[in-house]
């Protein structure tokens, strides 16, 4: 491998003869991987190395010299099936080491980057089989964005809570029904398996890993250097639109009811009202609805109201009180409590971040 930029030789080449314990971070990338899915977290781990070596205020050449002789927390490697340059979605190629070379040294953390939306990497049996073989060899495995699909294909997601970019949550749940797909967190940790929503959230996940490995002070220093929160405001939410009720209704039994509910959110709907609309007794309705959709009718109604309120906050000039009334919350304080419980932000803060620019 030649002509690799400075920040990658130490990241890509195993330091022979280094008598110290390092955490080896291996990024697995495929053609058309999202560049920021890789370079964002890589930068966080690299900065942790520089901070640990007390070289954050020195030039790169000085840092390079020190890296050869000082213990560093991480040895960072970019890997692909065949090695060599791998083209990312931006047209920028990243140099990688072949998986056969990577297997020669212990891996602490394996991170699968997001790939293109065609999911062609799922058909790569060599890559999938290699991932399967690592299950009992690595301490920690992670995915960024739709890299979660590769982890699922290799069997890592079974029985675990996971997340991906909100646009892909429903498809991930359909393809891997044994996984418990969460639709809103920016990252989820379930035992040794970490999954993130992708793009910038891969950096959040990397900072959380640094905090686990090196402590809060080091993670905070990395976050400050990247001008990021060590914990984002908003309850670590990616503020995704929730999966549609129809998407969670296994047999479509309540499709018409859901349409009626959305048209009548302004009313003070009770379980009895919903049961009557479905031509069922309240007790039988609650039982069957929960079985078919995975949530109780009151919970579903609250989710619809919040979804409607989010839309109005983003796209209208209506007052928060008026939105609360139209969406059936009754008053803005109740809506505020629901937003805080589910998103970790008040409606006013949500609007400040996401309100579209409206013409007069």
Q: Do 176 and 249 belong to one domain?
A: no
pLDDT at 92: 94
Rounded to two decimals, what is the model's pTM? 0.68
Alpha carbon of 359 to those of 77, 310, 312, 315, 317: distances in Å? 49, 19, 15, 11, 10
- Check whether residue 259 and residue 207 sit in a common domain: no
Please, which pLDDT band fits residue 58 given cuts at 50, 70 and 90?
very low
Do 51 and 107 lie in one domain? The reply is yes
Residue-level pLDDT at 59: 44
146 found inside a domain: yes
239 lies in some domain: no
Residue 73 lies in a domain: yes
Mean pLDDT, residues 73-93 taken together? 95
- Whether 266 and 202 map to the same domain: the answer is no
Considering the domain boundaries, does residue 138 fall inside one? yes
Q: Please write the tens of the pLDDT for every residue from 173-192.
A: 999 999 999 888 889 999 99
Q: Are residues 281 and 186 in the same domain?
A: no
Q: Are residues 58 and 138 located together in one domain of the fold?
A: yes
Residue 235 falls within a domain, yes or no?
A: no
Q: Which of 184, 123, 191 is nearest to 157 (CA)?
A: 191
Of 225, 254, 269, the residue that ends a domain is 225
- In a domain, residue 1? The reply is no
Residue 359 lies in a domain: no
Residues 288 and 194 in one domain: no
Minimum mean pLDDT range among 67-71, 145-149, 198-202, 263-267: 67-71
pLDDT above 90 covers a percentage of the chain that reads: 57
Q: Are residues 131 and 270 in the same domain?
A: no
Last residue of one domain, picked from the residues 225, 255, 275:
225
Residues 61 and 17 in one domain: yes
pLDDT grade for 359, boundaries at 50, 70 and 90: very low
Same domain, 219 and 250: no
Q: Judge if 188 and 285 occupy the same domain.
A: no
Q: What is the pLDDT of residue 121?
A: 84
At 282 the pLDDT is 93
Residue 12 reports pLDDT greater than 60? no
User: Do 160 and 264 reside in the same domain of the chain?
Assistant: no
Query: Residue 54 domain-assigned?
Result: yes
What domain range is 72 assigned to?
9-225
Position 56 pLDDT exceeds 50 = no
Domain's final residue, options 191, 225, 259: 225
CATH of the domain at 21: 3.40.50.880
pLDDT, tens only, 211-258:
999 998 899 899 889 887 666 654 456 666 554 444 455 556 888 899
Average predicted confidence (pLDDT) for the chain: 83
Mean pLDDT on 122-129 = 92
Using CA atoms in the order 227, 229, 233, 239, what is the torsion angle rounded to 10 degrees?
70
- Convert the chain into a string of H (helix), E (strand) and C (coil): CCCCCCCCHHHHCCCCCCCCCCEEEEEECCCCECHHHHHHHHHHHHHHHHHHCCCCCCCHHHHHHHHCCCCCCEEEEEEECCCEEEEECCCCEEEEEEHHHHCCCCCCEEEECCCCCCCHHHHCHHHHHHHHHCCCCCCEEEEECCHHHHHHHCCCCCCCEECCCHHHHHHHHHHCCCCEECCCECEEEECCEEEECCCCHHHHHHHHHHHHHHCHHHHHHHHHHCCCCCCCCCCCECCCCCCCHHHHCCCCCCHHHHHHHHHCCCCCCCHHHHHHHCCCCHHHHHHHHHHHHCCCHHHHHHHHHHHHHHHHHHHCCCCHHHHHHHCCCCCHHHHHHHHHHHCCCCHHHHHHHHCCCCCC
- Mean per-residue pLDDT, 139-148: 96
322: domain CATH number is 1.10.10.60
Could you give the number of structural domains in the chain?
A: 2
């Amino acid at each position: 491998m030649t002509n690799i930029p400075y920040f990658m030789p130490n990241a890509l080449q195993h330091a022979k003869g280094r008598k110290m314990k390092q955490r080896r971070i291996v990024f697995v990338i495929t053609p058309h991987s999202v560049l920021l899915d890789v370079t964002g977290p890589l930068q966080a781990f690299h900065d942790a190395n520089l901070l640990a070596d007390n070289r954050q205020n020195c030039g790169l050449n000085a840092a390079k010299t020190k890296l050869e002789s000082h213990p560093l927390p991480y040895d960072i490697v970019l890997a692909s099936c065949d090695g060599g340059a791998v083209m990312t979605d931006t047209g920028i190629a990243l140099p990688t080491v072949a998986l056969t070379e990577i297997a020669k040294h212990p891996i602490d953390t394996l991170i699968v980057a997001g790939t293109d939306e065609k999911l062609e990497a799922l058909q790569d049996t060599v890559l999938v089989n290699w991932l399967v073989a690592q299950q009992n060899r690595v301490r920690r495995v992670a995915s960024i964005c739709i890299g979660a699909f590769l982890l699922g294909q290799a069997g890592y997601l079974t029985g675990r809570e996971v997340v991906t970019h909100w646009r892909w949550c429903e498809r991930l749940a359909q393809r891997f029904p044994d996984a418990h797909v969460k639709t809103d967190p920016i990252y989820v940790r379930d035992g040794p398996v970490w999954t993130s929503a992708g793009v910038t959230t891969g950096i959040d996940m990397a900072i959380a890993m640094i905090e686990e490995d090196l402590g809060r002070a080091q993670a905070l220093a990395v976050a400050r250097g990247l001008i990021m929160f060590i914990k984002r405001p908003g309850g670590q939410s990616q503020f995704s639109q929730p999966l549609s009720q129809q998407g969670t209704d296994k047999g479509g039994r309540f499709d018409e009811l859901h349409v009626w509910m959305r048209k009548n959110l302004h009313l003070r709907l009770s379980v009895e009202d919903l049961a009557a609309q479905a031509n069922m007794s309240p007790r039988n309705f609650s039982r069957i609805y929960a079985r078919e959709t995975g949530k109780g009718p009151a919970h579903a109604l609250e989710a619809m109201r919040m979804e409607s309120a989010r839309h109005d906050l983003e796209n209208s000039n209506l007052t928060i009180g008026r939105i609360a009334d139209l969406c059936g919350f009754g008053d803005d304080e109740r809506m505020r409590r629901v937003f805080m419980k589910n998103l970790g932000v008040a409606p006013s803060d949500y609007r400040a971040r996401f309100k579209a620019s409206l013409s007069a």
